[in-house]
Chains A and B, each alone.
Chain A
């Protein structure tokens, strides 16, 4: 067993953490297949890979949440077996989760207390919370309940909570997915400072530019196996992506000269109160979307995107019928079924439970949105043959991989289910398509298929509205981009003029004051 005296550790002769042949098996699925990585102090180590490559499984193992099937971990050279996260925290391993591990109805201070081992009094802990949040420039009000906070503030709780454990090793899972570019820059300052203080960081991200800028080392996983460990600064974004995917990624191509024609989706001064306490009020939203055009809506999650989707789809009705106009017909008062009959189609963000009923078959999920305008229902009776035919057509057109002809929705991988859901709508040749986060949590191959399909749909004359938190995706496929902040929508700008900085400022709400002033003046 290697020597693990502090002196050796500080010279950096022993990695802080090693995984040796770490394997995790779920039934026949190998989530991690003999993964060996070394992480050194003062290192920001990127963990790259597609969805389903095994990144989450690996970090959950390191954090003690799941037990490896084979292989072992070494901490400062000594074998480490973790009975649970508190064991990991006791050694100085901290974690910032992608889907925050917070409690909405508890206060910030209570949330932080729950992430610590409880050896100090609540009062001492609160004092330390204030101290840490001041020192690192991460302001928090300990008395607020979490549900009242923005996504960025919630992440701050997670980070402060991890910092209060004085971590030697910090894991961050997609921390910038929910931040504006400017907020991400602030996070990088904190991370650089931690590194300088001697902390090791394992950093999971999809954003390769960010990885190249921040990280010293990168390990790439594919299908549960380690593909390579490299220096990301010496690689290009394209070469990193090739290693993640294991081949070339199809570039999406826009049609050479897309014609825009009549306005097919018009929103006029749409204002809508939220239907639950935690919701966002939509404020005077107006835009016009022509056939052949793709409009992108950027913004940090939780700024009214879900509410806008509900108002456009008809899941929630507007008071004024003219607030939403589909193909020239006032539709604000119409139900989602009636809007579908007008030629609109919708793809919500959440695949399982919203776009599809998880434990129902694909044919039944075809009926879910197809019952309004297709031959699937006659005189109140369903036509199973027509439902199956839709499944077959979608499968063929969008290359949906599945184990049987008509499986349950939940049994498909994220990418294949998303292809089915988008395909189900596109094959109805809609005049207007409203889609939220079309490639969220989807592998690169499926993502390219879906983005191409959206471009092709627009080329055929449909109007497409895409809401996404992924600025790269919006830049790639849209013609214009608008930004949502606190229920307001900015004036759309041409995508070619939309720099990251400009969008980032709008996402942070920096022009809100001017806008409100304008409204006040107009009233």
Chain B
């Protein structure tokens, strides 16, 4: 028996639409087996993961809060991936954005700085993330160094830098030696949308980013340039598009969005700078980008879905003692199935049972 791929004359748009759903279905099936192997009832485990978060308003808001950074980062990543530039260091850009924005929060701590502080922090976060994202991009276009490896290495560096700051210069003097800054002043935090709720302005910003991304890719010449550079680099050059500039642009936008997501996370749900502010948003966003098929609208839904797995994973740990690592396994398996199903858009899979007969003729 042999698996044979047959190229389709044209990509199948029907499958492009349903392939993420097939992938989710296959992932849920695989997870049921895993739950059973862990000695848990698959039905109730899936229920805790995917149904329970919908029943109370707190969890619903929490899904939106967790989806905010995922969606923002994934939109930026999708630009990079469409341009065939493999930014896998969004986690680092997220952390540097958080650090850059927090700098202002720390400096204005306890002063009577006005409401300009938060917008300025947002700007600083975006600039910090963009500059950090430009490092691997410049290494690539100027020296030809693999952006995959450099952007990933910078994640470790960013992590250590943040660690140094909150243990050293920025540590809260009244914080009992915990590695954290002091709680940010109210002017340095993200405004909450509903009094007493979890939803904050970041969700609105994420929606704006989705809309902007959709327009950029579908309606502008820049978006077209990004897509051509990734899909057919020689044709892009023939079209007169400068691939180096476009790679720098994609990394800068991607870094800025990740950085902005970072400062929103710190100035919002967390409230101060400390190690471990991200449960791996920068890496999970890679899955979000692919599950959303690198399409901004798709990414919005994919972001909400993966946010659900974070919430569900926490609840499953509390109520069913399912280890948190299961969430990561889930995300990894999901990405595999998403990629495999995407292959269906370009190819038909065929199982060939008859192997060619080998004649033992004379020679």
Contacts and interface: CB of A to CB of B under 8 A. Distances in A.
Interface of A: 26-27, 67, 75, 78-83, 87, 90-92, 313-315, 335-337, 340, 346, 348, 350, 353-360, 364, 367-369, 371-372, 377, 380-382, 403, 407-408, 410-411
B234 A353 contact: yes
Contacts of A78: 361-362
Contacts of A337: 240
A336 to B, nearest CB: 4
Contact of B224 (A67, A359, A382, A410): A382
Given A340-B240, A382-B224, A357 B361 contact: no
A71 to B, nearest CB: 14
Given A367-B224, A371-B224, A382-B221, 16 more contacts: A27-B6, A67-B356, A80-B359, A81-B359, A83-B356, A92-B363, A337-B240, A355-B235, A355-B238, A357-B231, A364-B224, A371-B240, A380-B220, A380-B221, A382-B219, A407-B10
Given A27-B6, A335-B240, A381-B219, A356 B235 contact: yes
B11 A350 contact: no
B37 interface: no
Interface string B324-363: 0000000000000000000000000000000011110111
B234 to A, nearest CB: 5
Interface in B1-51: 6, 9-11
B239 interface: yes
A368 B361 contact: no
A371 B239 contact: yes
Contact of B232 (A353, A380, A411): A353
B1 to A, nearest CB: 15
Nearest to B233: A353
B6 A369 contact: no
A368 B356 contact: no
B358 A354 contact: no
Contacts of A82: 359
A291 to B, nearest CB: 24
Interface string B211-223: 0000000011110
B239 A369 contact: yes
Given A360-B231, A368-B239, A411-B9, A91 B221 contact: no
Contacts, number: 95
B235 A380 contact: no
Contacts of B356: 67, 81, 83
Given A357-B231, A357-B235, A360-B228, A408 B10 contact: yes
7 smallest beta-carbon distances between A and B, as pairs = A337-B240, A357-B232, A368-B239, A83-B358, A81-B359, A336-B240, A357-B235
Contacts of B220: 380-382
Nearest to B218: A382
Given A79-B359, A364-B224, A411-B10, A369 B238 contact: yes
A372 B240 contact: yes
A233 to B, nearest CB: 34
B271 to A, nearest CB: 40
Given A357-B235, A372-B240, A380 B222 contact: yes
Interface in B223-254: 224, 227-228, 231-232, 234-240
B240 A358 contact: no
A359 B11 contact: yes
B222 to A, nearest CB: 7
Contact of A350 (B228, B231, B234, B363): B234
Given A83-B356, A357-B231, A382-B220, A348 B361 contact: no
A119 to B, nearest CB: 13
Contacts of B9: 410-411
Nearest to B222: A380
9 contacts: A83-B358, A92-B363, A353-B234, A357-B228, A357-B232, A364-B224, A369-B239, A382-B220, A382-B224
A308 to B, nearest CB: 15
B357 A81 contact: yes
B164 to A, nearest CB: 42
A360 B232 contact: yes
Contact of B235 (A75, A90, A354): A354
Given A350-B234, A360-B231, A407-B10, A81 B240 contact: no
Contacts of A359: 11, 231-232
A80 B356 CA distance: 12
B238 A371 contact: no
Contacts of B237: 315, 336
